[in-house]
Structure 1
């Protein structure tokens, strides 16, 4: 065991020097990494974190704007539906009013025509009565003149009256 003991000491002495150099190299590597790699890496990570946070905020803002726009569009659509319904109801009412006006005008015109026809019929009736009266008067005068011209017996008078009635019927 003696034989290995000096080697172990030496090896451990060498190992301590090597360890010290390796520790010094490792510390120097850490300092260099910290200065040249870690700070830029942390900066990139912070920039990335800021970028992601901004994108999240932007997405949230966009979502809120989209919801607001959607709500506004729904309100606009509802207002348009109500306006369209009002227009339809107004048009329907105007159509019904127009229909009522047309019916009233037609009824008034029919009543006017009926009254005009009644007046025309009454005028025609009065003219017919006047004409009949004139014919009766002329026949009466004619009969009276014939009776005066000759004295008739009952049979002749009967025949004369029938002849004049026939003559009056033919003149009409």
Structure 2
């Protein structure tokens, strides 16, 4: 009998377990599955967000690299343009200085020529005056000054040529 009681207890326990299992499945299976599905969806979203953020970070890094390269290229180009402009301005200043020096030399040459002609004229005048004085002293008489000047100028012109 002892065996039958135990067998009946085992059967009764199994039936209770199966009933309990159906009750648990009926009341707790859906909420538990929902919690598990929600957790699974949350993890999947986190993984997807992480991948999206990683892709965005990679795109941003590539964009920053491109912008950095462009800015370096533009910087070099600007420096080269300023360098070329500086060389052009330097060359213009040198050319302008050369022109100014040529003009100054030409003015100086003209001024020297004028001064030379003025000095020659002054020397001629003094020679004429001296010749007039000498000829008056030599002749001991007074010749018409206009005539005498004309004669001396002719003489100087012939000697100067």
Partner of 2:59: 68
Deviation at 1:17, TM superposition (A): 1.3
2:116 & 2:107 partners in 1: Cα distance? 14
Report how far residue 149 of structure 1 moved: 0.6
How many aligned positions are there? Answer: 141
- The RMSD of aligned alpha carbons is 1.2
Q: Tell me which residue corresponds to 1:101.
A: 92
Q: What is aligned with 2:33? A: 42
Q: Which runs of 5+ in 2 are unaligned?
A: 142-161
What TM-score do the two structures reach when normalised by structure 1?
Answer: 0.78
**Equivalent residue, structure 1, for 2:12:** 21
Moved over 6 A (4+): none
Select which of 36, 46, 55 maps to 2:46. Answer: 55
Deviation, structure 1 residue 59: 1.2
Q: Where do 1:77-116 residues align within 5 Å?
A: 77-116=68-107
Question: Can you list the C-alpha shifts for 1:32-81, whole angstroms capped at 9, x where unaligned?
Answer: 22122233222211211111112111111111111111111111111111
TM-score scaled by length of structure 2: 0.83
The CA distance in 1 between the partners of 2:67 and 2:19, in whole Å, is 69
Structure possessing the higher radius of gyration over alpha carbons: 1
Q: RCO (CA 8 Å, sep 6+): is it higher in 1 or 2?
A: 1
